[in-house]
Amino acid sequence: MKLFLKAKDFSVSGETFELHKDAERDMLVTQPVPENLARYYESEDYISHTDAKKSFTDKIYQKVKRVNLKNKTQLIDNQSNKNIKLLDIGAGTGDFLVMAKSQGFVVDGVEPSEIARINADKKGIQLHEDLDALGGQRFNVITLWHVLEHLPSLEKQIAQMVSLLEENGTLIVAVPNYKSFDAKHYKSFWAGFDVPRHLWHFSRKSINTLFQKHDMEVVKTKPMWFDAFYVSMLSEKYKGNPLYLISAFFIGLWSNLRACFNKEYSSIIYILKRTN
């Protein structure tokens, strides 16, 4: 694999990592993978595992998250015409499952971070540490919201989650898109790379290729409009731009406008079904 670019961990360690291009699968691979990857998550700066509202960025994140939660539950409701038994993989602090449960869904979740599980438990959501803890359960909807890029054993864990899906079930995967305009614009400063926590970096082609091996096909895609703005805001902050909010607004807007034509949104939701 050829070196694509070098990216810095701006949010936790300050270390630099390499992204190598897997041409066959059209995806990028983070190298090297730290031995103790967990320490890059167990930080007050890693907002997905806390409910922090300390900084302006934290507050923006939490507001966008609340809007996205409603959109996510509505999306699931539209995909299933029967009682929904939902599994959320990488459930974080459990906010999505709280919302889904309030809509009448039967919910379950997996989250490896102990800090995040404790926060979820305070909200009445008990999460499992890993997929093995689910036993023989099966679900008609499985979701991964910005989680696939974090999974160490990618192929193995895709196979495992597909095995947990009912015959006519729906798999919903949301990931950043390294071929978006904002990714190309910010290059090594692009917050969507989030090394080393993001081990893999996907394109539309790579998602199709990965899941076809497991008899799954993408039946529909949807954009995550807010991601272009939020990721651009973080990227501008990484660059040290004091006018980061203004710059991020215009880059995010332009990224979304371009994507209306080429479909290369900053983050994409993939809705998958079995092929047989």
pLDDT tens track for 1-16: 899 999 999 989 999 9
Q: Minimum mean pLDDT among 103-107, 132-136, 156-160: which range?
A: 132-136
Question: In this structure, are residues 158 and 131 in contact, taking their beta carbons and an 8 Å threshold?
Answer: no
Q: What percent of the chain has pLDDT over 90?
A: 77
Q: Minimum mean pLDDT among 5-19, 62-76, 93-107, 222-236: which range?
A: 62-76
Q: Is the pLDDT of residue 159 over 80?
A: yes
Question: In this structure, are residues 194 and 230 in contact, taking their beta carbons and an 8 Å threshold?
Answer: no
pLDDT tens track for 39-54: 898 766 555 544 555 5
Question: In this structure, are residues 229 and 247 in contact, taking their beta carbons and an 8 Å threshold?
Answer: no
Strand-pairing partners, residue 88, are: 109, 143
Q: Is the pLDDT of residue 266 over 70?
A: yes
pTM above 0.85, yes or no: yes
What pLDDT score does 67 carry? 74
Q: Is the pLDDT of residue 135 over 90?
A: no
Domain ranges of the chain: 2-274
Q: Assign domain 2-274 to its CATH architecture.
A: 3-Layer(aba) Sandwich (3.40)
- Give residue 145's pLDDT band: very low, low, confident or very high (50, 70, 90): very high
- Residue 34 structure tokens: 């730290």
104-132 average pLDDT score: 93
Q: Minimum mean pLDDT among 79-83, 218-222, 232-236, 248-252: which range?
A: 79-83
End-to-end CA distance of the chain: 33
Q: Which of 102, 88, 204 is nearest to 147 (CA)?
A: 88
Look up residue 139 and give its DSSP letter.
Answer: E
Q: Minimum mean pLDDT among 72-81, 132-141, 189-198: which range?
A: 72-81
- Say which residues have a Cβ less than 8 Å from residue 102's Cβ, sequence separation at least 6: none
Phi and psi at 256, nearest 5°, equal: -65, -40
> Distance between CA atoms of 59 and 51, rounded to whole angstroms?
10
59-74 average pLDDT score: 78
- Residue 66 structure tokens: 């609340």
What pLDDT score does 51 carry? 54
> Distance between CA atoms of 155 and 178, rounded to whole angstroms?
20
In the sheet where 16-22 sits, what is the strand order? 2-8, 16-22, 27-31, 200-201
Question: In this structure, are residues 232 and 192 in contact, taking their beta carbons and an 8 Å threshold?
Answer: no
- Give residue 276's pLDDT band: very low, low, confident or very high (50, 70, 90): confident
Query: What's the chain's length in residues?
Result: 276
> Distance between CA atoms of 189 and 271, rounded to whole angstroms?
29
Give the gyration radius of the chain's Cα atoms: 18
Q: Minimum mean pLDDT among 63-72, 113-122, 208-217, 249-258: which range?
A: 63-72
Average model confidence (pLDDT) for the chain?
91
88-101 average pLDDT score: 94
- Residue 179 structure tokens: 């071929």
Q: Is the pLDDT of residue 187 over 90?
A: yes
What pLDDT score does 71 carry? 85
Q: Is the pLDDT of residue 273 over 60?
A: yes
- Say which residues have a Cβ less than 8 Å from residue 39's Cβ, sequence separation at least 6: none
Question: In this structure, are residues 253 and 204 in contact, taking their beta carbons and an 8 Å threshold?
Answer: no
- Give residue 81's pLDDT band: very low, low, confident or very high (50, 70, 90): low
> Distance between CA atoms of 93 and 105, rounded to whole angstroms?
18
